[in-house]
Amino acid sequence: MDIFQTTIPDVIHFKPRVFSDNRGSFFESYNLNALTNIGISNVFVQDNQSQSSKGVLRGLHFQMGEYAQAKLVRVVKGSVYDVAVDIREGSPTYGTYYGAILSEENGHQMLVPRGFAHGFVVLEDNTIFAYKCDNFYHKESEGGIMWNDPSINISWPETNFEILLSDKDAVLPALSNCQHGFKYKG
């Protein structure tokens, strides 16, 4: 397994070992023992999947309180630029983000820990994004931050397409106006 250095120590970016031959390829998209060895010991209870067109931007989302979630994210088909934003008050990396291209081709995965907002922009039509959550979705506990918050200053990839947002994501607040309750525990 390849582990990639991140700018935020709690975000884990990795690539599982892929076995290829003339028939195609095989890899374990989830192996509890292998993930535990790299510091991911979450018990995942829900799998989610989305299909999106090029230009769709989903995020920046999180769940609060007892429904907070860590996410193990990957791309099944196509590609995205994926970001995790540290929103844990008191964290030395509060308000900063880590971003990476996740694609069908590169096979990379990323752990987005609890206390982080998560989002991605879709770089190819018909992209399928899949993720595991370590807690169940609870509508009343969802929150979000505007995708282009100038205080976070995410360097989204240069694109030649229009960003497409849901009505909900289009009106998310800036991090400075966001009530979430996440605290850094050191």
Residue 174 · residue 145 · CB < 8 Å: yes
Q: Are 85 and 116 in contact (CB under 8 A)?
A: yes
Cα(141)–Cα(44) distance, integer angstroms: 18
Angstrom distance (rounded) from CA 115 to CA 68: 7
38: nearest Cα among 70, 7, 2, 68: 2
Residues that are catalytic = 61, 131
The residues, any chain, with a CB within 8 Å of residue 47's CB and separated by 6 or more, are 130, 131, 132, 133
